[in-house]
Chains A and B, each alone.
Chain A
């Protein structure tokens, strides 16, 4: 496990910024402790400093994960978010969309979320879109 380099930190933050925007600061600056990012086997983990100290005791080969796995770096050093980051993304996301059950099915089978399918009465599932220059809301 090692800390992230400047480039890696930038890549991670830029990706997170696309989903949680200005709330990114809340991930770093937390009142309940210092939370750090660590790289282990090309995966980025987000954990409390205390947890980090405990994880330091485990040999590298035996360590599976520590804290929350936010995402991983690919072969060509691109950063991809993983589903385990959903908790944090859900809480800090800036733009959210509610879907009707039909819309949910639509999305699960690979189609884009169409405006007609939004605004569920029974808020069954919650998804969010992020505003990115290439995507239209």
Chain B
């Protein structure tokens, strides 16, 4: 908008040179002009008049003298309720951390993108390309074995596996938050037996459990190996206390109610498990793909013995 020369302010009278044909919505400090314009109207002058009319209306409103100066009290109700393009977002349930923050009256603090990198002597980004984190990692190329440390243990591998553990814990917390937001409870989940990864002690126990009933007779007539645990299968509840017919009918009605309002075939705990294992598998695939890329770059000099069970 071209401003008049400040040395020579052009002052026009505080009235509009046309009739008031505007619809006012003073709560939103808006005025609407729906009349059609004829070609050849001076738009600048026309809009100046419209603004003047609106300002005149605003100045008529009651004023309050407050600490911040004189304020006008805009009307409480608006004339036009502008519709929302999207529905109002649902309130998200608070995560455990949110609740903790509330309790301790903590506030969310924004971290700066740049940090001072002593090694480079410059402000570097906190993460990513040419970050301070990366330069520090490159600088720590030597690690002196401490007093309590095992000299045969690769300290870098140890640090990396610790980081991985932290990431896994964070992933678990995220999944748990999701499950709790959906209203469920994350129980200690059964380890998913994935052919591509080492299964560990928990996985071995689960594998034994599954193998024990993987025969035609459900493991009933199978020969038991020495020292094999026979009490791994979940015990089925036996012994139903006999109830009267009326009471049994009530139980049926309750069961029907539960089934009708059920969450469906989705088991929240299994879903959480699957989510975590999917992420793990994706991470493993990404890592193995990276490693195979590196090997090919070296001109195929890598050992051919290590085979990864990738699906």
Contact = CB atoms under 8 A, between A and B. Distances in A.
Contacts of B221: none
B253 A133 contact: no
**Majority SS at the chain A contact face:** helix
Interface string A1-34: 0111111011001100100001011001100001
B259 interface: yes
A115 to B, nearest CB: 26
A132 to B, nearest CB: 9
Contact of A17 (B240, B252, B253, B259): B259
Instruction: Identify the interface centre among A4, A5, A13: most chain B CB within 10 Å of its CB.
Output: A13
A3 B252 CA distance: 11
Contact of A5 (B218, B237, B242, B246): B237
B249 interface: yes
Contacts of B262: 14
B260 A3 contact: no
Interface in A80-108: none
Contact of A13 (B218, B245, B255, B265): B255
**Majority SS at the chain B contact face:** helix
A17 B237 contact: no
Nearest to B237: A5
B256 A24 contact: yes
B98 interface: no
A29 to B, nearest CB: 6
A121 interface: no
Interface residues of A, number: 24
Nearest to B218: A75
Interface in B217-243: 218, 236-237, 240, 242-243
Contact of B253 (A2, A22, A28, A76): A28
A34 B253 contact: no
A131 B218 CA distance: 33
Contact of B242 (A3, A4, A9, A29): A3
A4 B248 CA distance: 10
A52 B262 CA distance: 30
B258 to A, nearest CB: 7
A2 B260 contact: no
Contacts of A13: 255-256, 259
Interface of B: 218, 236-237, 240, 242-243, 245-246, 248-249, 251-253, 255-256, 258-260, 262, 264-265
27 contacts: A2-B240, A3-B240, A4-B240, A5-B236, A5-B237, A9-B252, A13-B256, A13-B259, A14-B262, A17-B259, A17-B260, A22-B260, A24-B260, A25-B256, A25-B260, A28-B249, A28-B252, A28-B253, A29-B249, A29-B253, A34-B246, A34-B249, A36-B245, A36-B252, A37-B252, A52-B245, A133-B265
Interface of A: 2-7, 9-10, 13-14, 17, 22, 24-25, 28-29, 34, 36-37, 49, 52, 75-76, 133
